[in-house]
Amino acid sequence: MEQQPAISDYGFLSDSRSGALVGRDGSIDWWCPHRFDGASVFGRLLDPSAGHFRLAPVGVGGPGYRVERAYQPDSLVLRTVHHTPHGSVAVTDALAAEIGARAHDLGMNSPAVLIRVVEGLTGRVRMALDFVPRPEYGLLTPYLHDQPGGGVLARAGPVTLVLRAAGLPLRAGRDRVTHEFEVSAGQVVGVDVAFGAAYGAPPARLDPLFALAETTRAWEAFRKPHRYPGRYPELVRHSATVLTGLTYARSGAITAALTTSLPEQIGGDRNYDYRYSWLRDFAMTVRALWVAACPTEASRLFDWVARSIGRIGDDPVPVLFGLDGERDLTEHDFTQLGGFAGSRPARIGNDAWRQRQLDVPGEVMSAVWRLRDHLGGTFDGELGEMVLGLTEQVASTWHLPDRGMWEARDGERHYLSSKVLCWLTMDRAVRLADRLDERADPDRWARIRDEIRDEVLRQGWNERIGAFTGAFGSVELDASALFLPVVHFLPATDPRMRSTIEVVERELGTDDGLVRRWSADPAGFVLCSFWLVECLALAGERRRAEELFDRVVGHANDVGLFSEQIDLSTGEQLGNTPQALSHIGLINAAWRLTEPYSF
């Protein structure tokens, strides 16, 4: 049985419609071509029988074999160089952009074509192609048919795929296509897999070499006008590119991660579907886009949020939506999949959409405040209704328990971070009142704001521990307390906050710069680690903040990607990947080290 590749072994491809993961061994083990949260056609990531597409030298991993890989600048076009005893060969992988796409057109009309270009560098290398499509997360085995003029058609259920490779005599097997060929120095072979719906337009026909060049130019043109003036520019630009790759271009929504069910602990059951867009991440995301991208991207994301929320009633605003704004994301265990490294269950959908999370309005209101000068001097129509609705909902519900930002499934509590975000909602509403209509009630809102603040300071602080804890009356530390200075609830120099930072760093931190969410959490949480960087910078400890930043970014994989968490014993990445929040945390921490008090 083949060994499960590590999460950090994967590189990320995107056309801002869907994404794919390609391993160091040359295997595409995840691709949901319809859109990010659609069904996979290659799903080996979660089960060996769920399909893959390997294109690599024969004898991958044998003696004398090594791999180097890197993204083309400012893109998600990945070039992998395989060094073998017989020579070297490069495979460049990408998801094709629309021909002629430039700037903000990237991803609007992606053709759903996977491109793989093989280039001989030295010597003569024997390559192996193994195409094993398994649509619907491996539930379907397609019929394969040779095509006139070359190529193989795979068809099953709602999916049509066409595999083409000019100059290679590909032949359909019973349920897969296998082929070996040799590549000499200077020789180039283009391969592509095009996706189409069973009853829609046929899959696009592209020349792989031309499409690869166009895709590279599209990425370069998209990133070219983005100017980041701060520290760590290469890291920040790359993380911004990853966020672009996680953006569903048709709506502007940013998916939290490309994958579902990658475990927080190998063999554990905290395996969730992250292929949706979280409102709880909204303000942090807008801040990162504002710093590292441009107002257009932040504004498109804001427009998607406003439309997705709709008219606000008595029900809590959901914490997450589908990429077109869908609300019902009912979760189910997908028992047909064995799970990553046997970590079960694999899940499709995410029931967190049903939870009450009182922090959500605060995230939206924080983003409204940040974009206020771009939203107009008067908030009327749907924008005004949204701001008023969020404010009044918090005014009437802030005293209730909820599930908290970590989406606890064992019951509701009075979580510290949720109350702080309720305070933020009321504070921003007071500041924005002059842009609202006559229904604005800033005096009442200010009284509620101050009441919430008093409750947080009284019930959130634990004198014996010397820190703000995760929930009112709790003795459990929680790294979410680091969020207080980030949202300007308390300055990092406040004695209580300074003590909290020290206690969290001592009790939840590790020697290599990682911070766990709580004491029983078995892994370091990348976002919390960057929050600690921000806190240290705000407390005036710039050198320590810089040293910590350097240690945290050292946990990225060889092509600069972060998943959600890092295993404390092995250093391996854990959780869904690439994780938007981790890259958002990097951008915001880098800017904090540039301009500590700028946001």
Instruction: Please name which of 347, 505, 364 lies closest in space to residue 421, comparing C-alpha atoms.
Output: 364
Closest CA to 265 of 572, 599, 23, 579: 572
379-413 pLDDT per residue, tens: 999 999 999 999 999 999 999 999 999 999 999 99
Number of domains in the chain: 1
pLDDT at 226: 83
What is the CATH number for 73?
A: 2.70.98
pLDDT tens-digit readout, 25-74: 999 999 999 999 999 999 999 999 999 999 999 988 888 899 999 999 99
Pairwise CA distance, residues 413 & 344, whole Å: 27
Does 259 fall in a domain?
Answer: no
What pLDDT is stored for residue 598 in this prediction? 77
In a domain, 45, yes or no: yes
Asked if the structure places residue 590 within a domain, the reply is no
In a domain, residue 541? The reply is: no
Per-residue model confidence as pLDDT tens digits over 13-23: 999 999 999 99
Q: Considering the domain boundaries, does residue 260 fall inside one? A: no
What local confidence, expressed as pLDDT, does residue 105 receive? 67
pLDDT at 104: 67
Q: Contact at 8 Å (CB) between 301 and 251?
A: no
Mean pLDDT, residues 323-341: 97
Q: Could you tell me which of 66, 105, 69, 76 has the C-alpha nearest to residue 90?
A: 69
The model carries a pTM of 0.97
pLDDT for the residue numbered 59: 87
Alpha carbon distance 219, 226 (integer Å): 12
In a domain, 582, yes or no: no
Using an 8 Å Cβ cutoff, are 119 and 181 in contact? no
Note down the domain range covering 154: 7-223
104 belongs to a structural domain: yes
Within a 13 Å sphere around the CA of 411, how many CA atoms are in the beta-carbon half? 3
**Is 156 domain-assigned?**
yes
Q: Is 546 exposed, middle or buried (0-12, 13-18, 19+ CB in 10 A)?
A: middle
Q: What is the pLDDT of residues 156-170, one digit of tens each?
A: 999 999 999 989 999
